[in-house]
Amino acid sequence: MNDALPDIPGLTIVQTLGSGGFGVVYRARQPQLDRDVAVKLDNRVLPGEERAKFLREARAAARLSGHPNVVNIFDAGITADGRPYIVMELCPGGSLLDLLQREGPLAPERVLDIGIRLADALGFAHEAGVLHRDIKPANVLIDAFGAVKLADFGLAAILDAPSESTITMGALSPSYAAPEVFAWGAPSPAADVYSLAATLYTLAAGHLPREIPWPPESLDQLAGAFRAQVKPIPGAAPQVNVALARALAADISQRTPSPRLLADELAGSRPAPVAPPPPPAGKKSNQLKVLVLAAVAAVVVAAVAVYITISPSGNGGKPTDTRAAPVAPPIVSPPPKLEDCVTTPGYCVTEACFGGLVQINDVRTASARPCAGEHSWEAFSGGWLPDGSMEVAIEEIEKLPAVTAVCTPELMKTRTKPGGDTAAWEISVLMMDKGSNGKPYFYCVAMPEAGGTVTSRMFVNG
């Protein structure tokens, strides 16, 4: 690296602001406009054939400059010694990483506001065909007016010139990168969603959603880290914890697909979508997975793909149109032992009875019992839960609108057999994912006062 201040036409370099990865950020003065700017200069020298690609990608990122939550790009070019640079808006408030280190975890309400704004910026970028590829607290800056702004938009693609399809492992931010990135998966909007969710979680919780060892001691260690449960953030609204858990799903097929949907789920204006359980993978699907795994097996870190589902791409690594196409709503089938009701809201229960409920930490379980035999708890309603709910504390699940709408004394009364009296029965919620190919669902269950038992069904369908 050249320690001397760089010579960039039209700019007077004032000082070094920071460095990391492959680049250095400088504060500079634009005498013609009498303003200060930031300059990010890459340390690598681009060969001649890669310079046109760099400028093309820089122009694409500059198209995002009109968004209020994206750092403006003013110029881009190549220094006399062949190093690429980008001239950007100077944000004197530092980064969200600086804020986190200075103030500690941010209030969940503040993080929610930040998340919705950044998700809107990310959605705007994806619709313009630009991926970020390196979202983390250090890459979200605060301008002179206190607004948060995504910085380095597309810079991973711009400065990773030799690679058309994947970010280099040297430029990777392991703690915020989606699992498929470690297996050299093609960049995607869903990977950006994961990184944004990891950033928001860290800001609110004060720690990462998962501790990712890097470099890992073994592939088992890395795969196990991504399988770790994402614990709920204390004090955060239930829909926020559920939305972040879904956006942090290790399996890309189970993850929130777009930043705009993530924004809606964070705000509670749109609950996490409920879809029927996926059908079992067929022979053809398994063969495709084997081919994908074999293709990346030569790369050491890529072997983690054995443990993590990869979304294959057939576009040869070329830029893709990331704008979302209209999708018809899925036909939703009832969860196990539930059926559509004719005269009352929610699902009706065909037959689901249990022994005592056992709760250890955030997990509540119960053993199934025949309704014709002695049992303590009986289900009277239920429904699907958002993807990722099994990683959320039961206390948070109990607050979800989908649950509070049906697990009520009023609905329990309408499902009670004629002549029966359940007015004093205790109501609880039981989460399940058995018999649904892993899709989470819940039962509204009730038991007699003072922990009594019954030997016949108290509730009916209807």
Binding site, annotated residues for ATP: 40
**Catalytic annotation on 133?**
yes
Query: In this structure, what token pair is assigned to residue 344?
Result: 């009352």
Query: DSSP letter at 37?
Result: E
Neighbours of 388 (CB within 10 A): 24
Neighbours of 367 (CB within 10 A): 10
- For residue 288, give the nearest of 309, 307, 303 by alpha carbon: 309
Query: DSSP letter at 70?
Result: B
Which residues participate in the annotated binding site?
40
Kindly report whether the peptide bond that precedes residue 215 is cis, defined as omega within 30 degrees of 0: yes
- Biggest CA–CA distance in the chain, Å, is 90
Q: Of these residues, 83, 133, 246, 415, which one is catalytic?
A: 133
- For residue 117, CA distances in Å to 77, 149, 220, 264, 336 come to 30, 9, 37, 11, 38
- For residue 260, give the nearest of 122, 113, 111, 66 by alpha carbon: 122
The answer to whether 266 touches 427, Cβ cutoff 8 Å, is no
The helix (H) or strand (E) run that includes residue 225 is: helix 219-227
Q: What angle do CA 67, 72, 76 make, to 5 degrees?
A: 135
| 234 Ramachandran zone, left/alpha/beta (phi>0; psi -120 to 50) | beta
Three-state secondary-structure class, residue 149: strand
Query: DSSP letter at 130?
Result: -
- For residue 324, CA distances in Å to 134, 190, 262 come to 21, 12, 14
Neighbours of 4 (CB within 10 A): 7
Query: DSSP letter at 63?
Result: G
Active site residues: 133
